[in-house]
Structures are given as structure tokens and as C-alpha cells.
Amino acid sequence: MCLLETFSRETVLARRHRLKTPLCLTSSTYRYRNRKEPAVSTLTRMLSTHPARSADVAAELIACIEACTECQQTCAVCADACLSEEMVTDLTTCIRTNLDCADICAATASLLTRKPGTISVLRAALEACRAACAACAEECEKHADMHEHCRVCADACRRCEKACTDLLELI
């Protein structure tokens, strides 16, 4: 039996103790470490049960939502890390670009999680997200040799930019 259902932490730990199987606990999935079945995210499970969602774009949609969420969080942390650097005045543009990108990624992820009212609004959000990610990645890459957090952020922005591009090609 694979624990793909979300149980209370107490239930999961009680079953783990009884089964003596190592369990991987993450915020959105529970799964056995040594099993072949992949962990299924809560987002994947929710979208797969949605009656108005098409199965043909499900993988790209989920990838884009996850990339936008990851990028939003990464950009927020990068901005905060830049504020802690000694040369913070040299990073003003980077901080502002990080915060802009984080906000656009958050809005895009939010729009993607529900059925759009109009496809043109969704396309505009994806295009804006792709542009914000490209600009943020470009700015962070300028500082990547000096600040590791900027390199990590640039990588997340490039992944999100690609995910938005991939989804735009399908809609």
C-alpha cells in the first residue's frame, strides 16, 4: 500500500511504526522512500479531479504552476539576501527586479490554478511572467559570480521562463 492519500501526521507516523518502512514526509505528499511509485503532489491530485480540465495540458500546466511558485519564492529570498549584502546599493536594480518577478509569478500561478475567464488574459499573464523571469534572470546573472543566491535565482527564473513558454505553445 502506498500512502498517497493525505493523512494526519499522527496516522502516518503510527502506520510507519507498524509497517517499519521509511517514509518521506513533505508538505504536499506522503510516500514510501523505497517504493517505485512516484510521489503525487496535492496539486496534481486536485487538477486531475477537476471536471473542466483537459488531460492533454495537465503535465505542462502543473509544471508551469510549480515553476511559477518556485520562482516567486526564490525571487523573494534573493531580494532579501541582496538586502543583507554589504554592497546593497549596487544591488538596487536586482532587488526591484526580484520583487517584480516574484509578484508576477505569484499572480500567474494563481491564475493558472483556476479555469480562466478568457484565454487572452491567461496568455497575457504567461507572457508577462516569461518577460519578468527573463529580465530577472538577466539581472541576477550579472551578480551570479559574486553572490550564490543570485545564481540560484537566475536558474529558477530560467526554468519558469521555459515553463511559461512551453505552456503558451499549447494554449
Tally the domains of the chain.
2
Q: Is residue 49 part of a domain?
A: no
Tell me the percentage of the chain whose pLDDT exceeds 70: 73
Whether residues 136 and 107 share a domain: the answer is yes
Instruction: Please state the φ and ψ torsions of residue 21, each to the nearest 5 degrees.
Output: -120, 130
pLDDT > 80? residue 58: no
Distance (Å, whole) CA 154 – CA 152:
6
Based on its alpha-carbon atoms, the radius of gyration of the chain, rounded to whole angstroms, reads 19
Highest-pLDDT range among 2-6, 57-61, 122-126: 122-126
Whether residues 112 and 163 share a domain: the answer is yes
- pLDDT value of position 72: 98
Whether residues 71 and 153 share a domain: the answer is yes
Q: Is residue 138 part of a domain?
A: yes
Which of the four pLDDT bands, split at 50, 70 and 90, describes residue 55?
A: low
For residue range 100-146, list pLDDT tens digits in order. 999 999 999 999 988 778 899 999 999 999 999 999 999 999 999 99
**CA distances, 148 to each of 28, 78, 80, 140, 160 (Å):** 28, 9, 13, 10, 19
**Spatial contact of 23 and 12, defined as CB atoms under 8 Å apart:** yes
Whether residues 13 and 61 share a domain: the answer is no
Which of the four pLDDT bands, split at 50, 70 and 90, describes residue 70?
A: very high
Cα first-last separation, the chain: 37
Whether residues 77 and 161 share a domain: the answer is yes
CB count within 10 Å of CB 168 equals: 16
Q: Is residue 88 part of a domain?
A: yes
pLDDT > 50? residue 32: no
Of 56-60, 66-70, 167-171, where does mean pLDDT reach its minimum?
56-60
Distance (Å, whole) CA 90 – CA 94:
8
Distance (Å, whole) CA 112 – CA 109:
5
Extract the C-alpha cell encoding 28: 504536499
Whether residues 3 and 81 share a domain: the answer is no
Which of the four pLDDT bands, split at 50, 70 and 90, describes residue 91?
A: very high
Q: Is residue 46 part of a domain?
A: no
Q: Is residue 48 part of a domain?
A: no
CB count within 10 Å of CB 145 equals: 9
Whether residues 99 and 145 share a domain: the answer is yes
**Spatial contact of 105 and 71, defined as CB atoms under 8 Å apart:** yes
- pLDDT value of position 166: 95
Which of the four pLDDT bands, split at 50, 70 and 90, describes residue 40?
A: low
Give the residue numbers spanning the domain of 125.
56-170
pLDDT > 60? residue 56: no
Q: Is residue 149 part of a domain?
A: yes
Whether residues 21 and 82 share a domain: the answer is no
Q: What is the overall mean pLDDT for the chain?
A: 80
Q: Is residue 79 part of a domain?
A: yes
**Quick one: which H or E segment has residue 31?**
strand 30-32
Rounded-to-5 percentages of helix, strand, coil across the chain:
70, 5, 25
CATH number at residue 127: 1.20.1270.360
Extract the C-alpha cell encoding 123: 496568455
Q: Is residue 115 part of a domain?
A: yes
